[in-house]
Structure 1
């Protein structure tokens, strides 16, 4: 524009915020007819908060909603000329009343009635532009009516595509940053997709209005994109909107200037009710982009006509004769079958209707797998865990959430039997985690080592649980005539401690000391008691809760072999571990005092 002198242009262009090129020969222009707020909520019932969806899922589906938005400093203009002064809108609170209706699974019409509830700021001049402080009372903003038509419905991974158009009617207060004073319209192209755990959408177009020297905003190109990840009723996502000034048409002429707003969003769905909230910063210098925005929304949507049509046309209709068709005119095509996951397999034929799968088996496996489940993802080992999640896709396995506990006596099963780490999801069950699958493990509830003997494969070499006893296959060695444990037995006791740690259901173990019959009975009884106490002390020092252990000495009263032979006396000098109590309470069942 050729109206302002270079004396004004130079300092304005040096300003850190949006400035208009104008001439000094014109009188100062007053701000009028500016619809400052840029937030355009997605139609009620859509999957995201500010980005419209591309698909339409309802035959007849109305929806209503309320969205409250608070923007911090949506207009901040600062000049460097001596005559310039700070002028800004410091806050703006707006309530959007939303309504929409979906028709014929192709068309969606929507309405947005925004109300400026409260706003405030300061008046002043910037060069030749004067901005008047907004009124603080509530006022109606420009009504928006829109619609979209889905041209290409979603099919599998291929997204839906639609054309949309929004029109703003000049119903807002032009002097209160609530109305543009003229009709505005925004055509756009929309693409997006809906999946059970993820949805995304993107739109591109423009928002156009009649050029006016009284408005702080003009025609713009716009782009928006958003995505949300869903888990149960919760959806978390982010949404980005970008605007770029399109030529002249604003009191602040800044061709090529752009701005953006990023929102982090959360949605909670309760049947037909949705609760939304979000917040995020603004970037750039276009008027109406706040430094920060916060919003909350409530929506309700319900199908008047069920959106899922029958999987197939009635037999009478499918077999209608040509004469009947002639009498009724051209036969109506049957509506498309419901396909929730969008994998092109109708729900009535889909073995996995909530998961994107394959319509037909892979060519290599077509003749080899008659058990192929149409509509399900690939599962090469047929263990019910899809290859994309299966850590052992070629070997049948079990879920990490419900691993096969294997075989063995129930009394010997550890408290965590039936589970395995997530890193082994879909792999053969290995309850004790020793790397040997339960099917081949002779001791599936005890960590062991490989062995060529199937009877001991996967069993510990020195310690195992047998019925009511923790059996040690070696003897605890003590110094002759003393209760001091030899270091060579530390590894054996470490295995005993490991078994107790792996089996929290073992609540009480008696450590029993025994001797041969050499020496006096009283001395042997005292020695056996002191040796049992030494073992208890070693185990508690290495992490075993003292409430689980008790020491007992029996001297020579319970021989296993003949004390008249050297080998017999060696067998009688021993420590045994008797399981006296098991509990389903785990650690909560480790109690001091006598056994119940």
Structure 2
């Protein structure tokens, strides 16, 4: 092989490398154009050497074609790799999401709400969350459902760390729980009203002991009202048990006329004083 042939091969190789991987490639936005230019320069040089200049144009065309054939394959491979990397994102980026190095949205606690939007990070696995990633709290007592031992506590009732009403808290206060005259028999209207208590107590009866307090107005003697209210409290407990409430944690207590909440001098006030309160017992 003579010197001119060796030089030809060297120039062609250098040109192709320059087109595919050299600094010129990084200077152009169009990778394919850069490759073609590098190949053309190499081809022209080869033509000039081999033919004394007359073959420069033809050599440039051949060099450009070779560069495109060789370099376009690498470009296609690079695009395929990028596309494959984007396709493996488990969570697509959304406004406000925190992204990892690949541009994928992150979900550190795996609750389905991506980081950056998740307002309750590190939620335990399997816990149902709302749209901002916080555990569901159905009764709005501040204790999420997965930790709440007393679900559906009436709103406004103060609860402990387990979501159960604390001692001394009134779970429910019902007026209009009337009885037959001078008796402890519930009226049909009273049963309907007590159904609200059934709903509340069924969610706490296994873990909370409740005093069922019966109150009267001031009509009659204090001793008589005390005994009457005790019988009526027991009647209320019997009705609640018949509806499925655990009677072991229900304590009937007759309060008589000792704890009025309104003026006993008026019909309206006496009606308010005739009530049944459900209060968490102090054990």
| TM-score after normalising by structure 2 | 0.49
Which one has more relative contact order, counting CA pairs under 8 Å at least 6 apart?
2
Which is strand-richer, 1 or 2? 1
Q: Bigger radius of gyration, 1 or 2?
A: 2
TM-score by length of 1: 0.26
